[in-house]
Amino acid sequence: MSHPVDPAFLALPLRAAADAALQAARDAGATHADLRVERLRHQDLSLRDARLQSLSDDVTVGIAVRVVHDGTWGFASSADVTVDEAARLAREAVAVAKTARPLNSQPVELADEPVYADGTWVSAYDIDPFAVGTAEKVALFEQWSRRLLAHDQVDHVDVSLQQALEGKFYADTAGTTTTQQRVRLQPQITGTRVDPGGGFETMRTTAPPAGRGWEYLTGGWDWDDDLGQLPDRLVEKAKASSVEPGRYDLVIDPSNLWLTLHESVGHATELDRALGYEAAYAGTSFATPDQLGSLRYGSALMHVTGDRHTPHGLSTVGWDDEGVAAQQWDLVRDGVLVGYQLDRRMARQNAALLGVSRSNGCAFADGPHRVPVQRMPNVSLQPLAGGPSTAELIAGVERGIYVVGDKSWSIDMQRYNFQFTGQRFYEIRAGRLVGQLRDVAYQATTTEFWGSMEAIGGPQTYVLGGAFNCGKAQPSQTAAVSHGCPSALFRGVSILNTVREAGR
């Protein structure tokens, strides 16, 4: 269903502000200028044991102007979205560039991009979640909470819902003008069981965040099944045997594998991280550009793409924050590193090294008062055409573990050594699931792990997971990103017992 752009956003002086800012930037000697006007609405609510605990509903509105003057970036922003303020911001951004010029040893040059005049893009959703009353939302979650609390082994239920409506207008001195609107939400329901000794165990629904509207809560996911099975899964987990450390074959469900992909491939193929520009916040990357085309990232089955146009993806847009149109490209093909995530400056600066001359649209700022930085697109492991089902992957394992749902994780500052836990772990014996295990974490290096991938599920196993809260840069920025994965089989992966590792 196609939706009109929010009238409250369109009522802002978008084009007049752009005209004023871009002309003021030209008059001040800028060789490039771009403007963003944004209206971001967020609503978060939470319930504890069927009672509303918190509700926040906020709107951020602002205008940002970025320039290149004498080969140097300048930036300025304001919450005052007016024509006069737009022109003032352009002059201020040029003044910032002039001040910073003596510190700049690498003149800014931007990769060319076609001009998109009067482009409009709206994400795919049916029901705007902000058009649904708070009382209706709370009533649904109260009903779900009471359903879980009716089970005698569920002591507490926590529900959270994050929702976002993002309106963004972009214009630059090349002539591109675009208007975009995105909707996304993240629902989570967690059950807790407290044992008589004071210990506890939790189990969360597996529904991922999605670029969808309220329809996701009323039919876009099988909530009846997810909620219906949660109590028994929780009880089984609480009573499960502690895992014996060692090497196991793993069948990893997409509800868990997406996070491993995010940390070990998504962040590792950000070019600014691989070049060492992004280091202080969360480290650099082992996948350095000198290894492009030669680094054996994983098995020959491994095909990972970056894209900005997957339906309902959290990183899906029409254009990025530099006016670059959405694309899809390969990051890892046949198990070999073949690409990176780029913005316009990095594409131009590294064109000879990378063999590409155009940005793939990975510039994003999380609000009008932030400078766009290189941010992750939807990064996905592609399924195998005609590939096996999850049950068939499990049937091929003699001694192993089936991993479902994400939980805690840890990875080093080069995205290389890691360990991940999960929501549920099922022991596999002779091709069959024989019950849950607990205290499980899998540990590997990135290339060892992906190199052990022996089989990939077919499209029927593919699920688009992801997160609302991917962090990067200083000052910190947060972005929502999706990762599609099929189920996959990994041979001989090291398994730790988390309780023993903690010395308990």
Q: Whole-angstrom Cα distance, residue 282 to residue 294?
A: 25
Residue 259 lies in a domain: yes
| Same-domain status, 246 and 232 | no
Q: Do 366 and 481 contact (CB within 8 A), yes or no?
A: no
Q: Is residue 1 part of a domain?
A: no
Residue 207 lies in a domain: yes
Q: What angle do CA 479, 482, 486 make, to 5 degrees?
A: 160
User: Is 286 among the domain residues?
Assistant: yes
Distance CA 38, CA 369 (A): 9
Judge if 256 and 396 occupy the same domain. Answer: yes
331, 265 Cβ separation under 8 angstroms: yes
In a domain, 2, yes or no: no
pLDDT digit string (tens) for 68-92? Answer: 999 999 999 999 999 999 999 999 9
Q: Per the confidence metrics, is the pTM higher than 0.85?
A: yes
- Asked if residue 270 and residue 157 are part of one domain, the reply reads no
Domain count for the chain: 2
* No. of helices (H) and no. of strands (E), the chain: 13, 25
Closest CA to 129 of 74, 171, 181, 92: 181
Q: How far apart are CA 481 and CA 466, in angstroms?
A: 6
CATH, residue 138: 3.30.2290.10
Beta strands 246-252 and 488-497, pairing class: antiparallel
By CB atoms closer than 10 A (0-12, 13-18, 19+), residue 10 is middle
- Residue 322's φ and ψ, nearest 5 degrees, are -125, 15
Q: Which residues pair with 363 in a beta bridge?
A: 374
- 221 and 313 part of one domain: no
Same domain, 254 and 229: no
Instruction: Answer yes or no: is 151 within a domain.
Output: yes
Determine how many CB atoms are found less than 10 A away from the CB of residue 139.
Answer: 11
Q: Is 249 helix (H, G, I), strand (E, B) or coil?
A: strand
Give the amino acid at 259. L
Q: Out of 206, 239, 272, pick the residue that ends a domain.
A: 239
Residue 235 shares a structural domain with residue 246: no
The candidate with the shortest Cα–Cα distance to 411, out of 305, 291, 273, 293, is 273
Distance CA 450, CA 493 (A): 10
Answer yes or no: are the C-beta atoms of 193 and 183 closer than 8 Å. no
Predicted confidence pLDDT, tens digits, the chain (504 residues) = 679 999 999 999 999 999 999 999 999 999 999 999 999 999 999 999 999 999 999 999 999 999 999 999 999 999 999 999 999 999 999 999 999 999 999 999 999 999 999 999 999 999 999 999 999 999 999 999 999 999 999 999 999 999 999 999 999 999 999 999 999 999 999 999 998 877 899 999 999 999 999 999 999 899 999 999 999 999 999 999 999 999 999 999 999 999 999 999 999 999 999 999 988 888 999 999 999 999 999 999 999 999 999 999 999 999 999 999 999 999 999 999 999 999 999 999 999 999 999 999 999 999 999 999 999 999 999 999 999 999 999 999 999 999 999 999 999 999 999 999 999 999 999 999 999 999 999 999 999 999 999 999 999 999 999 999 999 998 999 999 999 999 999 999 999 999 998 876
Specify whether 290 is located in the same domain as 389: yes
Domain residues for the domain of 220 are 7-239
Q: Is residue 402 domain-shared with residue 468, that is, in the same domain?
A: yes
| Helix, strand, coil % over all residues of the chain, rounded to 5 | 25, 35, 40
Check: CB of residue 341 under 8 Å from CB of residue 330.
Answer: no
Pick from 370, 135, 409, 129: nearest CA to 263: 409
Max alpha carbon distance in the chain (Å)? 74
- In this structure, the answer to whether residues 224 and 338 fall within a common structural domain is no
Identify whether residues 415 and 464 lie together within a single domain. yes
CA-based Rg of the chain, rounded to a whole angstrom? 24
Nearest partner of 5 among 118, 132, 123, judged by Cα: 123
Our measurement of the distance from residue 57's CA atom to the centroid of its chain's CA atoms, rounded to an integer in Å, reads 22
Q: Does residue 201 sit in the same domain as residue 122?
A: yes
Claim to verify: residue 85 and residue 129 sit in the same structural domain? yes
Give the tokens for residue 341.
């995530």
